Structure 1
């Protein structure tokens, strides 16, 4: 138990009406900073370890901000200050460090017979024993070392002999003490970094809403976070630590119980479920009790651990090269099929479609951990009766996409039924409804922008090389692109400064952007990412309207274009009804200067209707369609009685060939297409 700092004015009911920093002399500032550090460390212990804070969050924030201001104004640098928990500069790499002592894995099984056999061997070797029974945390193991009571380093388990130095990241975790009072000269402890379930669900919600893939489970989230190279990102994620072993110390410890007592006295966070039991049958009872309670815990466990309590008997038993002979992990069976809906969130896709997603208590399904499932739309939620807290059965549709198939139990709580939002949950932009589907109509919505940017630069759109998924993410995250139109105002120096970029990459992108100017209107319209407007519809719209007329076209005008029905017309009008979209399109048009089909080409293929299936070497479908339509041909997506030719390339689809046979439409292979059609241009 960490004692309260004596005579410290910032512990109980602190006065946060501080004098201006500029009014302090250096000595007064140093003394105030010293007391603030001691108080904040104590408040961290009360909040993260004792779970019993003595001040309000806003008061803590005021103390923290004051310390931060003092350290900055008077250059009071202290690497162990609580202000360092907000993270530092990104690391170049994680260095490898040797452990104080090997961090071994445990023997494990879910079979009761095997832990009974483990107990028989123990008693045969050393006689009667008492076991320390502990939860088996499903997290990420680390070694943390203290010299003279001061945090020195944190190292991942790695291969057991050495691991990666993650000291900068573990400093940001509130439950990791940076200073210990009355500590041994040397102390190495082992802990399990984990992500609380509620924090995991909130983090996944944020990732889903901005268009990122969610983490599969809290363990993956914790492990991935601990090994990040950016401590500031780590500080922003909800990590916590349970400490459960003293690896090495200058103090004398004779049992696991004494180790836990020492950890608690020094201010480490120790799990309250740890206990002593007299025999293996009590371990089995302990395991059954925790398995029944696991859904109510704020952390993930996948079993229990039984350790011989007496350190002397542990030394007699020894270890193999892989695991100690005095400990055993009795694991839970995998969760399968049924789980609990923690909450329902809304994901915004590239086209602006709003999709409800159930965030689940992670469940194993056909060997894969599932933490989310699509709910498709509000109608499916109503039909299934899904809500937060319901127990549901999850299936993998086509063995790929997890779906909620049914509600198998309802906790009958008073949670409100789910309703789709009236505005976009990411950008607060207007939402349009089409049947049971909802769409954000703001093309500059951050959740859509990354994928829209990637789509805009794709080969069938503006054909701008160098803007794949990773590059699009960096441009948006750096704030260089807040609208598609910002692409054409990018500064080479700003681009070159991005992580993973350089002057050559930046110059190449500027060249690619310049080369895209003067693109045909069909490619430009497709690049905008208007819902339901693929390459062929974009060309049809470009042939029927110039850009100015298209922006003002009504549904009736649009439906006069072949293959444009009410749904497509509604999507196009909704897109251009958004002032933000119109502004983006106008800026893009000014930069690109898209050219209408009427501006080039001829009428050599006037009246000819073609359909393609499969790919033709040397051409993209978009390039071929543009070429043919600028010379008068009509390229459609389906075969009908009005089709003159079906062009059959590599890996063709069966359906279009069957339609061609049914309609008696002539087919052309690539060579015949080249001779009879392209040779006329």
Structure 2
């Protein structure tokens, strides 16, 4: 069972950016080991998974209004990605750390924002707020702050020309958003015409939401009409605003608070733009735009912290959902001086609330098995309402968490929705058992032994465990494996239910069962033929892709490439001892032991033997002589080059050299592009590794008969 299957409300087919088996999608373990304990290859693999997961979480939160993880969990994943990119000088081009989350929907037109609508940094810890204040005062001196409730709704830009409403858009990716002009026009609190003295052009930012009392009334009406109720007001507001049926939008009780000016243009006789955040709020109110009266101007950060604590005490009495407070530097000139990153404003900070919680009883504990063999305990609860959502199950994370909580069946526990999304057991308030739940020593699915890796428990059944088999097939066919088109999670599940695919080798038996395949619901001769063609094309896969497709724990794409380059053939990798494996670039003792255990397992060996009766992975023996002009050359790249760094590394590897992620005594050259990272240059200095700029690197390659930059057409011809 995959991570997603552990949460039945999530359909793998809905995923847009991440593989269903990405460990950072659902109930991720955000307790990361220190970055200095990772090899460069492991860091790159983890960063790649985190980037895909963060993109998926952004899409689910901003575009689908259906988040998969709690806010704080998302924050931890995002922070880890930032740490990895900084510590290992990873290329951040296209990384979600450099952009606002979200994207536009195809069904709605897109609108370019007057000014980028960025995010703000956030934390639930007062010390982080004080660190924000220290940085602000260090850069611009003493400041006042405006404190506002952090509304849990959907951010929009609304534009007025000559005082008249002309358009509205969602935040989207921060640069462009969905055109929701017609939908927003139905919100009664948003005026068609501004009041008082207004500028010729005005763009404002607000938050669309549904009041709590109106939300409850609307849900009651939906239930009485035989429709499913909404899970919470935020999802209801976001989903409503993206409705194409404007009449349906008008029937829903949307409201909006405004809090920021994005654009202001007035002729010489027109009103002057407000010079502070506090003046902005007064001006917006005077123009007839709905603002929240609970905003306050405070003199220092301690007053801001007190504001948050006071508002948290009022939270349940408010008629709208909030999940914290926003603290903004009041002076607009200081805000301009502080500026922004590509993703967030540097003059604002969100101080989040802790999760809501309630007390209930643990009725049972079940242990689920994911594709990687990870065992996840889940508490089945006497249903309880937590913040307006009925919770009947909650994660217990791992055996160590169970021991720390001391939880067992029958106990009364406090359940919270972390970030008001994912339920988890926070504490035992009344123990009705003598000892904690006894975590199984064997897999509940296949009976194989359970082993521990730190706090996490794993089934050792590998490819023979039924719970892992389906996800193993999905991973094998995914982009991170052999990229077999037409074999997503839904289809693999269908094939398993039809008895056509139980294990990986069964994929290659499908050509002999073409008629059965074509008879499946939703298939037919064309679909069956297309899949069979894809499978036939995957009988001689590249060795790196084949190794990555097997789902060997701790072996991602980078490690698979290094193993293929070192050993050349699958049988050589399979028979290599731990000492030999440790000689491979970026393979340490833990990875070597894991690889050896995977191949030594009798069940895995039987599946692999069957698989190899159908598959002949290509050998990748290093080329010699004239065919390998870069043989023996080891380089490291840092900074931006005239071509993507991945293309540069591929060129070096394709021509017999080695492109590694970190500088060591074995490195021949550090190739330095624009805006290089400091850590690699420092390491090169320590190791006595010479630096080359891009022109000098081009000269070095020319001496070996290699042109630079890589010619894309020549590369494509060579691949063909």
TM range (shorter): 0.3 to 0.5
TM-score (norm 1): 0.45
Q: Which has the higher contact order (CA 8 A, sep 6+)?
A: 2
Q: Which has the larger radius of gyration?
A: 1
